[in-house]
Amino acid sequence: MSYQTKVRANYLNRTAKLSFFNNRKRNGDVTRIADETGYSVSHISNMISGVRRVTDVAANAMYNLTRRRVKNSEYFA
């Protein structure tokens, strides 16, 4: 991970990282985040939908998974 990425990740709060993830989410991402963080798939889904509070660990995993991706609106346009 480059220094630039670390700096950008440190300035984004959990809500911003969740929004970043939602704009770049693809099939299988929830499962990958659940495996990486140790949370269940349903708990991650509840965090994404807003039922549960997003933890720092889950927010960082979401950001790191999707940080180099293009937005879905640009990818599928």
Locate the domains of the chain by residue range. Answer: 3-75
Give the mean model confidence (pLDDT) for residues 4-8: 58
Chain CA centroid to CA 29, Å: 9
Residue with structure tokens 């704009």?
23
| Burial grade of 17 (CB within 10 A; 0-12, 13-18, 19 or more) | buried
Buried b (16+ CB within 10 A) or exposed e, 45-71: eebbeeeeebeeebbbbbbbbbeebee
pLDDT value for 11: 81
Give the mean model confidence (pLDDT) for residues 7-22: 84
pLDDT, tens digit, 9 for 90 and up, residues 55-73: 999 999 999 999 999 998 8
- pTM across the whole model: 0.81
pLDDT, tens digit, 9 for 90 and up, residues 15-53: 999 999 999 999 999 999 999 999 999 999 999 999 999
